[in-house]
Chain A
């Protein structure tokens, strides 16, 4: 019966339906886009030498200098296979601040010493080296630099670059490397910041012995971060090391993610309020047109609660139909967009300033979907209570005499 009532006035129903559909569509698209932007930020952060988890010597994070390196990472590494879920990958790194210089230029960089085969599986550098090679094992004192740095230093593969940094004995260690490869990264800042050398050679240069700054771990499933972190903390408590999750290592990204949560919810509310005026008005009109009908129903013995229920059913049916269509349309647009993503490279400098990636691939999060539909249906029912009560309040006599 409610279904038929909904279609009594087709135009009116279609109009309000359109409002609901556009509203729900925008909720889903905005939600998916924001999640896509957030995903990019997180992925970027994790790939830019963060990983899902990092192990350091205790105290390194608050004072990240070479003296505070892990002295015996091998002991930790030996225990990792038993502690990490299958499919996890890890890389041991030396990471220190350094000064890079050639004949005409000098600048601050982060010197990263890695095992190229392992590092390639953990961070962006795996697919990042576009010119030359990523530290082949037989070439000593080779270095890979970012494209932006190479441009800034007017240099190219084959040329020399001198690195200076403080070693474990607090002396300035200085060493010439030959550029063997150039990498590209999502952000110019990354290309300017990092230079990669072989782990063994970084250890020699800095007199580190078998030491390392950090162990970065990438898990097969990001959801496992907290469980694995807990397991590592308990198991490695005796090793004088500390374990951090990417959420702790990237506080700004974490803060932005929280802001996005709030923003998405606010947008849902705002769009809902905009729709609700129409929902209330349309339901009210439908009710007032049918005063006589309601009077008759009451006169025939229907309880006021029955009338409230029937008006609410109609309005809910309308909302459900609207949000159903909105969901379908929203999901379809997201699907269409996610095929290639939205390329915003033209605004690269602005994106970098805001910490965003260049290509946004929208992603639908089930929770957002549930929230959007929940807001529309639950709050929609709540605002429909007013016209429903109005309908129930007519006395039969009054209503029947109404023309």
Chain B
């Protein structure tokens, strides 16, 4: 075997120019795939984390049916019961309570219909990044009874600034009219127009009083230690709630159920990416098939001699495949090395796509994107390249079996 390997390696360098070009083709494909996969997977990570942080959290405990129809009376009646379960569940990093209702918000001059959210100021900062999106003034604090944090576009539409008064009017849980008078203490800008135009945040307790919530909330939002533990935490929480007999009226939803659009768009992007990569690899494979073919046909005589000396065709095929494998592996290793180098550079420094900042912001993404190296993103692409290249090499190698020693030796 070692001898075969040595022979294969030497054969490879018979025609260094040709082999180098082939190596370059394989390496090129590998570099590209390592970088692109790291980029894609990295951007999914960023996207998921950003959306989870700014909107949904990893998990939410809601009244069953609230996710489909956000009606004010579908409530988590006893949030402390859920809190007790969460306190005892491993993997829960933090949790908070939220309630929301669609209401009319009026300033002195204007009136708009917006989503009013009641947040627990002390807990919210541990779960979400809404506090960090405040651009003017400050986020709600524990002592606030009448504070309001509004989106930048909403503030512009309402013509309000810090300190201005807002009146919230809506329908309370019991069907009566809910009303509250608030003062703008902060203005947030998330970059997502929907949020910036249509959300007002107020203290949960004030919300509960105004909307006759009677201590109930609409969602208990959970942040887990990391994305990987979400499934097990979900199962544990659902199990514990079931044991307490509360699983009928409550549902435990993960971020995928809370943001189906995000999940599907990631699948869509991944699928189209895979199609592109396959086309690319097939082009590369055909592009290097000639090298493999030549490596066999220019050596017809040599193989004739081998066979005449008693080398079995099977061994010849093995030798040729070994040659191809050595070439492919070298190319892939070079490709992985360069690809990791390239990706690591951009992982450190990030990439700014010119003109895309606003577009990315709509999806909750930062303007500077970072690819992210992982075992999967480094190995998957080159693996596909290797499989397809070796399949390509199989064709000429199998042709060798058809050679007849005498005829082969006569060949030019």
- On A, residues with C-beta under 8 Å from B are 11-12, 15-16, 18-19, 22-23, 26, 30, 63, 65, 97-99, 101, 104-109, 152, 164-166, 170, 172, 251-252, 255-256, 258-259, 267, 270-271, 273-282, 284-285, 344, 347-354
Contacts and interface: CB of A to CB of B under 8 A. Distances in A.
A281 B291 contact: yes
B21 interface: yes
A281 B288 contact: yes
A353 B265 contact: yes
Given A65-B157, A277-B25, A277-B284, A15 B265 contact: no
Interface in B5-46: 17-18, 21-22, 24-25, 28-29, 32
A18 B286 contact: yes
B264 A278 contact: no
A174 B104 CA distance: 12
Contacts of A278: 25, 286-290
Interface string B46-63: 000000000000000000
Contacts, number: 151
A256 B280 contact: no
B320 to A, nearest CB: 17
Contacts of A354: 265, 268-269
A274 B359 contact: no
B355 A258 contact: yes
A326 to B, nearest CB: 11
Interface string B243-268: 00000000000000000111111111
B286 A284 contact: no
Contact of B71 (A105, A350, A353): A105
Contacts of A108: 102, 112-115, 198
Nearest to B359: A255
Chain B interface residue bracket vs A:
35 or more
Chain B CB count within 10 A is highest, among A12, A152, A256, A281, for A281
B21 A281 contact: yes
A107 B102 contact: yes
A347 B264 contact: yes
Nearest to B171: A106
B232 interface: no
Interface in B156-199: 156-157, 170-171, 198
Nearest to A24: B283
A22 B294 contact: no
A285 B18 contact: yes
A22 B110 contact: no
B279 A350 contact: no
24 contacts: A11-B293, A19-B289, A22-B286, A65-B157, A101-B171, A105-B71, A106-B113, A108-B102, A109-B113, A152-B69, A170-B110, A258-B355, A274-B25, A274-B287, A277-B21, A279-B287, A281-B21, A281-B290, A344-B268, A347-B267, A347-B268, A349-B260, A350-B267, A352-B261
A19 B356 contact: no
A284 B17 contact: yes
A282 B17 CA distance: 12
B359 A252 contact: yes
A152 B102 CA distance: 13
Contacts of B112: 97, 108
A274 B114 contact: no
Contacts of A98: 113
Contacts of A352: 261
The 9 A-B residue pairs with the shortest CB-CB distance in the complex, in nearest-first order = A350-B264, A278-B287, A353-B261, A277-B25, A19-B286, A99-B113, A108-B113, A350-B265, A353-B265
